[in-house]
Chains A and B, each alone.
Chain A
Amino acid sequence: MSARIGVITFPGSLDDSDAARAVIAGGAAAVRLWHADTDLQGVDAVVLPGGFSYGDYLRCGAIARFAPMMGEVIEAARDGLPVLGICNGFQILCESGLLPGALIRNNHLHFICRDQRVRIEAGDTAWTADFAAGQEIVIPVKNGEGGYVADARTLDMLQAEDRIVARYQGNPNGSLRDIAAITNESRTVVGIMPHPEHAIDPLTGPTADGLAFFTSIVTTLAARVGA
């Protein structure tokens, strides 16, 4: 039986369809979940898609974090449910405390949308198992509030524990230490600012480099079953 991966739609989500498509391309079944529900439907992992949940009012992700479905996700994630937050999803993960730090307005104040080279720094998280550390990929980045910040102690900790998952090659927004993606202590929750789900097919994306995030989780889940 193939893995079942949930994709949550919030009011204002934009990239939920692309995320669901990427999940299927990665070899899993996509289960569409609604923010106002509380039933995770027994999914094996969850993707929080990009967009502007609740209009980005207050702070990006600040209101989505209190959505009924997020209550379930936060609890399940603490028990090991793999979660990938992309862009707005990364912001929601930081707001919910599942990942440290925060994402603030880009240092140049502009919304940026371009193909971005990033280096995978950690090939051993639930969502990057099919990458080799040091591998460089090109996927789109598109954000206005994508500047990753945290205090120096947190940044040092992330670095020391090898929890910086990806770094920008050419920093697009002032993110501290070129951070594009990080993971939690158990390496199951990953937040990433650029968009792997938009780069799964050369027909519609710059590359198919993003697909490996979605095959990685299938690999990870299969290894869990086998273990």
Chain B
Amino acid sequence: MARIVVTVMLKPEILDPQGTAVRGALTRLGLGGVADVRQGKRFVIDLEGALDADREALLTKLAGELLANPVIEDYQLQVEA
């Protein structure tokens, strides 16, 4: 069993209105000094069996085609176990 975690974040230069709203809420709820909040996505993918090179290559490709839109998002792929 292999677990791959893909983290997707809006690129720094893309406005994140949801993050901005969360920042406002944190501040209203008493947290001082919130400079910035960015909201992203985390995909936890469990594969049957070990992660072979073919599946890893395909997953890496699909991370950039399906899970993230590289026009507006950066993504990171991490093999956990």
Interface set of A (CB-CB < 8 Å, partner B):
58-59, 62-63, 66, 94-95, 100-102, 104-109, 147, 149-151, 174
Contacts and interface: CB of A to CB of B under 8 A. Distances in A.
Given A62-B66, A94-B71, A149-B72, A104 B21 contact: no
B18 A109 contact: yes
B72 to A, nearest CB: 5
12 contacts: A62-B69, A63-B66, A95-B69, A100-B71, A101-B71, A102-B69, A104-B72, A109-B21, A147-B15, A149-B14, A149-B15, A174-B15
Contact of B17 (A100, A105, A150, A151): A105
A178 B37 CA distance: 26
B22 to A, nearest CB: 11
A66 B21 contact: no
A104 B14 contact: yes
Given A101-B71, A174-B15, 20 more contacts: A59-B69, A62-B66, A62-B69, A63-B66, A94-B71, A95-B69, A102-B69, A102-B71, A102-B72, A104-B10, A104-B72, A105-B17, A105-B18, A106-B17, A107-B15, A108-B17, A109-B17, A109-B18, A109-B21, A174-B17
A58 B18 contact: no
A38 to B, nearest CB: 20
B67 interface: yes
B18 A150 contact: no
B48 interface: no
A63 B71 CA distance: 16
B13 interface: yes
